[in-house]
């Protein structure tokens, strides 16, 4: 996927250099918004950027009886309040803001963390929250072409 991104970058660099910084910033803003929308849709569908499903929740022991949490993971995390975009003439960024950034980092890379402040340390499964899929790359190319054609 990284090599495909470099191919897209090398293809678009000539077009982007011909644009003014203000035009590049507008394009970066539209790219960031589109990537955020696609990331929100993927998180809602519980799917990694490569198309595989998220690892399921671990079984929980709820109030001394075996139970299962049935709601989807990361319900609030995909809200625009937490999933922010930034755009400059040189970059388009989609990131998690505030305190949820740490939680998103733990889940994205599958790190160890405490469940609660004084709770046990747990190893979380990796669930890629942000990333660029193949369909995202083609959409980005279409966005660049449409913006340059204007």
Is a pLDDT exceeding 50 seen at residue 1? no
d(CA 105, CA 85): 17
d(CA 95, CA 92): 10
Which whole number is the average pLDDT over 65-92?
A: 85
11-63 pLDDT per residue, tens: 677 777 778 889 999 999 999 999 999 999 999 999 999 999 999 888 776 66
Mean pLDDT score of the chain: 86
d(CA 131, CA 35): 9
DSSP symbol at 99 = T
Give the domain extent around 125.
Answer: 2-149
Domain count, the chain: 1
């Amino acid at each position: 996927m990284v090599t495909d991104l470099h191919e897209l970058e090398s293809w678009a660099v000539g077009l982007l250099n011909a644009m003014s910084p203000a035009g590049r910033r507008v394009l970066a803003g539209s790219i960031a918004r589109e990537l955020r929308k696609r990331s929100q849709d993927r998180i809602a569908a519980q799917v990694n950027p490569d198309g595989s499903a998220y690892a399921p929740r671990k079984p929980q022991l709820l109030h001394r009886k075996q139970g299962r949490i049935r709601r989807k993971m990361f319900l609030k995390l995909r809200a625009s309040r937490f999933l922010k975009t930034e755009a400059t003439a040189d970059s388009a960024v989609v990131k998690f803001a505030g305190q949820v950034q740490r939680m998103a980092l733990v889940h994205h890379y599958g790190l160890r963390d405490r469940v609660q402040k004084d709770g046990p340390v747990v190893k979380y499964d990796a669930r890629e929250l942000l990333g660029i899929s193949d369909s995202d790359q083609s959409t980005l190319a279409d966005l660049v072409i449409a913006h340059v054609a204007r």
